[in-house]
Amino acid sequence: MDERQYLLEAINKDLALIKKIEDRLRCEDNPRRQLQLETDSEETWQKIRERKAHLSSLEQEELKKTVSYLQLSPLKLDPLPLPERPIRDEDSSLNSEPRLSEERPVVKPQDKKPGADYSKLRELLEAGKWKEADLETARVILEVTNRKKEGWLRAKDIENFPCSDLSVINNLWVTVSKGRFGFSVQREIWLNFGGKPGEFDANYFLEFGNRVGWRINDKWLNYNDLYFSLDAPRGHLPSLQLTGLKNDPGWLSLWKNNFKGFLLPIETCFLKDNKTL
């Protein structure tokens, strides 16, 4: 087991312990015992923070390799936010044991050269032009899959999307947004509230939309109503609403299919054989 895998498993165990502590805390009437449980919880969270900081240093090394591969100037990768605290709504059907992705988001470059030029995407992200960067992400995805004319993806296009390009797109979004945006961030959110790796669930997709701000008051937002800002909810971008779909009457179904289709490639690219790419 490598160091990263060890840290991730330790964090998962700590998160499970916190959930048990908080469950006991809700039922505890003794003030002295409550204080002890709160202390235990905070000490466990501190362990998670320290392990996350160590993971971030490992990710910085991974990023240097990716940047070198792309021949781009290096970016500083700040520590990523802590995973969300466990869901406490006991009536929620989505309640589950907290979990963290088996591998961290930033991945190594592929041997295969990426199929598109990502310099414009990087420039837009660094300039904070989030909407333009989202549109550019859609454009390069369509370019890589040779679907620019059609403006939408078929299932087989998504299934065969190269890991090399997926890795570059993800690394740029995660790095520039300092861990707020990116496919792997969305994957982590999906797993943290009970979604299964690489598997789509319609009910969980509704909850995911609520979590990342794609749904407000039980209604899906149109593309132009999305929040193109660093203050948007974590995982809000990239939206995966592709360029040619904005005015299509079936845009919501296509959007859902894009999200559904990319779940498995993301899982395959990041976790195959428990190795980063």
User: Amino acid letter at 16?
Assistant: A
pLDDT of residue 89: 39
Q: Output the pLDDT for position 79.
A: 46
Q: What is the CA angle 271-275-277, rounded to 5? A: 85
**pTM reported for the whole predicted model:** 0.59
First to last CA, the chain: 16
Q: Which two tokens stand for residue 72?
A: 């781009």
Which of the given ranges, 13-17, 137-141, 254-258, has the highest pLDDT on average?
Answer: 137-141
Please report, for residues 147, 200, 214, 227, the alpha-carbon distance to residue 256 in angstroms, rounded to integers and kept in the order given: 18, 10, 11, 18
Buried b (16+ CB within 10 A) or exposed e, 145-171: bebbeebbbeeebbeebbbbbbbbbbb
The burial class, CB within 10 Å (0-12 / 13-18 / 19+), for 112 is: exposed
Bridge partners (DSSP) listed for residue 219: 216
Distance between CA 224 and CA 178 in Å, rounded?
24
Provide the residue ranges of all domains of the chain, joining segments of one domain with +.
1-75, 101-277
How many other C-beta atoms lie within 10 A of the C-beta of residue 245? 20
CB-CB contact of 121 with 143 (8 Å): no
CA distance 107 to 166: 10
pLDDT digits (tens, 9 = 90+) for 168-206: 999 999 999 999 999 999 999 999 988 888 888 888 899
Q: Which of 223, 108, 115 is closest to 170 using CA atoms?
A: 108
246 confidence band (pLDDT: 50, 70, 90): low
Confidence of residue 119 (pLDDT cuts 50, 70, 90): very high
Distance (Å, rounded) from C-alpha 74 to C-alpha 63?
8
